């Protein structure tokens, strides 16, 4: 699915700005640079852009949004980036973003009204648009169905069950980690987390840490770990099970745990002082909203598309199988990853680092 990686001068400069941790990039059209999660450089996500310009944009990658935030604050320049619901407000308030010109986004009026209605997510109270929602899905319990029985995964607490020692993986992602812990302690709205609840959540993550074989950093890593038998149970995004199953591995996910799942919405933003072509930025935003992209996003990655009109063109059977036919049911028993107060988020970041280090 991924294009061949051709490293050029622009990417070398990007790597220098990003530091030693961001050495992976795919260099194509130097007039549009996109800071993204690994895997989204697949040309199937933007076929209209390739058709119009003859090549994909240049992609550079981050492991999580807090890493991306710090690198952009340190001076890294990019045209578009792909944050999720819990980070948009933080990025905007830090002055990293510029407004979107929605008159140049063909599908803006076709966006899912439920997603667009989320407070301060896409637009602020004055009507200014800052974020184009694009993909949405879950972080949920994922498992090897040949090694793990249904009775063993009725609760998210199974991730801390000693029987799974060294057979567990969760993401190296503070938002997903604390979404998991919040669900386990019975918290569906983490924006009001008390000090005592934070301690309870952190204590649970310490119990999970005792079982963790690896903290996965991207889809490729967790798919390989599950499909290759390195781990049997994981807290992972929809695509881990979908891509593993497409490869013939017995990996499934479940929304039926007692505590539920975590739901998120991700999308694209334009960065302040973006150095590349504004026209190409909007060409890309239009390309990723095409109906064929909605189909690829669902069938190959397991995610819903925020463009309701494009989503409506997808095979209804595939939509129903993925759980998106009934949105109310989809978000039932879920923690939505909405923005948390800055001081709480920093506590989560600091504590998660200690937990991963065994403290």
Query: Does one domain contain both 15 and 130?
Result: yes
Q: Looking at the domain assignment, is residue 117 inside a domain?
A: yes
Query: Does one domain contain both 77 and 167?
Result: no
What is the distance between the alpha carbons of residues 91 and 82, in angstroms, rounded to a whole number? 11
Query: Does one domain contain both 171 and 231?
Result: yes
Number of domains in the chain: 2
| Cβ-based burial of 135 (10 A; exposed 0-12, middle 13-18, buried ≥19) | buried
Q: Looking at the domain assignment, is residue 3 inside a domain?
A: no
Two structure tokens written together for 255:
């929304």
Q: Looking at the domain assignment, is residue 227 inside a domain?
A: yes
Q: Looking at the domain assignment, is residue 168 inside a domain?
A: yes
Q: Looking at the domain assignment, is residue 158 inside a domain?
A: yes
What is the distance between the alpha carbons of residues 14 and 275, in angstroms, rounded to a whole number? 12
Query: Does one domain contain both 235 and 120?
Result: no
**What is the per-residue pLDDT for 329?**
73
**What is the per-residue pLDDT for 18?**
38
What is the distance between the alpha carbons of residues 294 and 285, in angstroms, rounded to a whole number? 13
Query: Does one domain contain both 312 and 342?
Result: no
**What is the per-residue pLDDT for 184?**
97
CA dihedral (177, 98, 286, 139) in degrees, to 10, reads 10
Q: Looking at the domain assignment, is residue 131 inside a domain?
A: yes
Query: Does one domain contain both 61 and 149?
Result: no
Q: Looking at the domain assignment, is residue 4 inside a domain?
A: no
Query: Does one domain contain both 195 and 163?
Result: yes
What is the extent of the structural domain holding 256? Answer: 137-262+334-356
Query: Does one domain contain both 91 and 25?
Result: yes
Query: Does one domain contain both 73 and 97?
Result: yes
Query: Does one domain contain both 339 and 229?
Result: yes
Query: Does one domain contain both 200 and 131?
Result: no
- Residue 248 is part of a domain; what is its CATH number? 3.40.190.10
Query: Does one domain contain both 94 and 69?
Result: yes
Three-class DSSP labels, the chain: CCCCCCCCHHHHHHHHHHCCCCCCEECCEEEEEEEEECCCCCHHHCHHHHHHHCCCEEEEEECCHHHHHHHHHCCCCCCEECCECCCHHHHHHCCCEECCCHHHCCCHHHECHHHHCCCCCCECCCCCECCEEEEEEEEEEEEECCCCCHHHHCCHHHHHCHHHCCCEEEECCHHHHHHHHHHHCCCCCHHHCCHHHHHHHHHHHHHHHCCEEEEECCHHHHHHHHHCCCCCEEEEEHHHHHHHHHCCCCEEEECCCCCCEEEEEEEEEEECCCCCCHHHHHHHHHHCCCHHHHHHHHHHHCCEECEHHHHCCCCHHHHHHHCCCCHHHHCCCEEECCCCCHHHHHHHHHHHHHHHCCC
What is the distance between the alpha carbons of residues 322 and 315, in angstroms, rounded to a whole number? 11
CA dihedral (27, 24, 92, 57) in degrees, to 10, reads 20
Residue 336: Cβ within 10 Å count: 17
Per-residue pLDDT of the chain (359 residues; tens, 9 = 90+): 333 322 233 333 333 333 434 444 667 888 999 999 989 999 999 999 999 999 999 999 998 899 999 999 999 999 999 999 889 989 999 999 999 999 999 989 999 888 888 777 888 888 899 999 999 999 999 999 999 998 999 999 999 999 999 999 999 999 999 999 999 999 989 998 999 999 999 999 999 999 999 999 988 999 999 999 999 999 999 999 999 998 999 999 998 899 999 999 999 999 999 999 999 999 999 999 999 999 999 999 999 999 999 999 999 998 988 888 877 777 777 899 988 888 999 999 999 999 999 99
């Amino acid at each position: 699915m991924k294009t061949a990686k051709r490293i050029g001068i622009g990417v070398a400069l990007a790597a220098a700005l990003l530091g030693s941790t961001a050495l992976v990039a795919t260099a194509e059209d130097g007039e549009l640079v996109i800071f993204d999660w690994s895997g989204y450089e697949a040309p199937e996500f933007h076929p209209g852009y390739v058709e119009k310009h003859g090549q994909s944009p240049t992609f550079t990658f981050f492991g999580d949004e807090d890493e991306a935030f710090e690198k952009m604050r340190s001076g890294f320049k990019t045209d578009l980036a792909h944050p999720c619901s819990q980070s948009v407000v933080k990025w905007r308030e830090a002055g990293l973003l510029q407004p979107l010109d929605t008159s140049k986004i063909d599908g803006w009026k076709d966006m899912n009204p439920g997603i667009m209605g989320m407070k301060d997510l896409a637009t602020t109270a004055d009507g200014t648009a800052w974020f184009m929602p694009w993909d949405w899905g879950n972080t949920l319990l994922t498992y090897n169905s040949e090694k793990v029985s249904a009775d063993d995964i009725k609760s998210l607490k199974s991730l801390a069950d000693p029987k799974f020692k060294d057979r567990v993986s969760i993401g190296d992602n503070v938002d997903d980690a604390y979404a998991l812990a919040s669900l386990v302690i019975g918290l569906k709205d983490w924006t009001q987390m008390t000090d005592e609840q934070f301690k309870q959540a952190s204590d649970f993550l310490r119990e999970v840490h005792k079982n963790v074989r690896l903290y996965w950093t991207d889809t490729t890593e967790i798919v390989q770990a599950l499909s290759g038998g390195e781990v049997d149970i994981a807290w992972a995004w929809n695509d881990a099970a979908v891509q593993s199953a497409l490869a013939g591995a017995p990996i499934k996910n479940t929304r039926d745990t007692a505590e539920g799942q975590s739901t998120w919405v991700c999308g694209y933003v334009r960065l302040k002082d973006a150095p590349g072509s504004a026209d190409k930025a909007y060409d890309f935003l239009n390309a990723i909203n095409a109906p064929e992209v909605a189909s690829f996003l669902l069938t190959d990655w397991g995610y819903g598309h925020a463009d309701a009109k494009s989503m409506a063109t997808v095979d209804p059977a595939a939509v129903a199988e993925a759980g998106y036919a009934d949105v109310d049911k989809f978000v039932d028993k879920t923690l939505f990853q909405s923005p948390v107060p800055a001081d709480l988020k920093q506590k989560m970041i600091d504590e998660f680092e200690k937990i991963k280090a065994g403290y």
